[in-house]
């Protein structure tokens, strides 16, 4: 995707089209498909029955029996995204199986080859990423009903009952709430360019309200996700093979690469939306801890290419922060700080949830997140850097 990276001067409609962003659901895939035609329906069938196949210890045998399918007949972005999601689920299940330490280090070619070819076509890595399990793994029960937890479901499940649904859907609802702010980005840049303080304050207030709504959605995780099930079951299936002692060399994709490959597991750091607000507000994570900054940068490679391009285009836009600083207006500064504080608050809450869902169940002080980083250290660093960008009174 070779978009020229100029500041975003287009209308929000043009931005949505150019960068594969949806007006209603943001970076999420709008109305994902649920079925694929033959022969790819075999993949869907296995992915839909994962918990049962794993429980009966039949999953690996079923995968080993699959014929190898060319992806040439997989037409259309939505079909390709559904196939990537299904193959991602199957791959995680094949590697980790019953989560008891019986780990496979080789993904057989009948699944590895189409998965890797499809991943190259989509510009995504061949592992279950956030863009799969959160952004493309949902449907409405009543198509005309609202985007609420009660009216939504996921397409594929891992073992652990409703834990998958709770974790993926709450993550999606947080994402969608925050993404409502994307449509005011052109207003934001235009206001800076025209030195229109009123328009800028209005846009900043709207962004802050979207971030506050995202926080409210995040709180639902307590209602729908059990800490013990998340830690002992679901988390296993979200683990990658980079920095993982169970797969120190990585995973061998038979028939595609000659050597094992290392990829990080799905992680909220792979969400474009919060990196988007860091860029917009001039919160430079690169000024903080080097390893945290490097990890966030690396996670961009796990995002759909159009969304990576969108972040790059934002980086070449005018600096909202510099404009606010140059004006020295207390009200403008307060509105800017309200946005930064909303980001700090979300990251604080994320830390609390990591403590509840990972640290406490494990009874350990230091843990690796599914992305492979020391998760508390990473999140504290990101939160601390965010706080440092609050504009203090002189």
Residues placed in the known binding site for heme b: 350
Written as one string, the DSSP assignment of 51-110 is HHHHHTT-HHHHHHTPPP--STT--SHHHHHHHHHHHHHHHHHHHHTTSSS---SEE-HH
| Contact of 183 with 171, CB cutoff 8 Å | no
Q: Phi and psi of 180, rounded to 5°? A: -55, -25
Q: Are 177 and 27 in contact (CB under 8 A)?
A: no
The b-or-e profile of 156-170 (16+ CB within 10 A means b, else e) is: bbbbbeebbbbbbbb
Annotated binding site: 350
Q: Is the omega angle on the peptide bond into residue 39 within 30 degrees of 0, that is, cis? A: yes
Evaluate whether 54 touches 97 at the Cβ level (below 8 Å). Answer: yes
Q: Is 31 left (phi over 0), alpha (psi -120 to 50) or beta?
A: left
- Residue found under tokens 């895939």: 29
Please give the sequence-ordered ranges of beta strands (E in DSSP) within the chain, or none if there are none.
106-107, 139-140, 152-153, 252-253
Rg (CA), the chain: 21
Q: Hey, is 369 helix, strand or coil? A: coil
């Amino acid at each position: 995707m070779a978009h020229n990276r100029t500041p975003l001067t287009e209308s929000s409609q043009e931005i949505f089209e150019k960068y594969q962003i949806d007006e209603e659901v943001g970076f999420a895939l709008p109305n994902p498909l649920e079925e694929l035609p033959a022969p790819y329906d075999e993949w869907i069938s296995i992915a839909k029955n994962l918990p049962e196949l794993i429980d009966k210890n039949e999953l690996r045998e079923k995968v080993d029996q699959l014929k190898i399918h060319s992806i040439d007949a997989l037409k259309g972005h939505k079909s390709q995204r559904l196939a990537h999601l299904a193959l991602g689920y199957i791959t995680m299940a094949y590697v980790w199986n019953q989560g008891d330490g019986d780990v496979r280090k080789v993904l057989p070619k009948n699944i590895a080859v189409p998965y890797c070819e499809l991943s190259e076509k989509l510009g995504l890595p061949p592992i279950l990423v956030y863009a799969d399990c959160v952004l493309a793994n949902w449907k409405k029960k009543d198509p005309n009903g609202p985007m609420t937890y009660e009216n939504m479901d996921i397409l594929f499940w891992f073992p652990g009952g409703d834990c998958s649904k709770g974790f993926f859907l709450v993550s999606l609802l947080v994402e969608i709430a925050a993404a409502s702010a994307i449509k005011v980005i052109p207003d934001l840049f235009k206001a800076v360019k025209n030195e229109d303080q009123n328009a800028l304050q209005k846009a900043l207030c709207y962004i802050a309200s979207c971030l506050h709504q995202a926080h409210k959605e995040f709180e639902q995780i307590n209602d729908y996700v059990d800490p013990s099930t998340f830690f002992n079951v679901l988390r296993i299936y979200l683990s990658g093979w980079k920095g993982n002692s169970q797969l120190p060399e990585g995973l061998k994709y038979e028939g595609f690469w000659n050597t094992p490959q290392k990829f990080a597991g799905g992680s909220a750091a792979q969400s474009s939306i919060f990196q988007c607000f860091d860029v917009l507000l001039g919160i430079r994570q690169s000024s903080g801890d080097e390893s945290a900054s490097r990890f966030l940068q690396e996670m961009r490679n796990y995002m759909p290419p159009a969304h990576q391009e969108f972040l790059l285009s934002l980086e070449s836009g005018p600096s909202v922060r510099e404009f606010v600083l140059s004006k020295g207006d207390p009200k403008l500064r307060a509105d800017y700080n309200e946005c930064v504080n909303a980001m700090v608050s979300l990251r604080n809450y994320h830390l609390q949830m990591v403590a509840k869902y990972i640290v406490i169940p494990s009874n350990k002080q230091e843990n690796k997140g599914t992305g492979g980083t020391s998760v508390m250290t990473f999140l504290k660093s990101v939160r601390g850097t965010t706080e440092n960008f609050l504009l203090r009174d002189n």
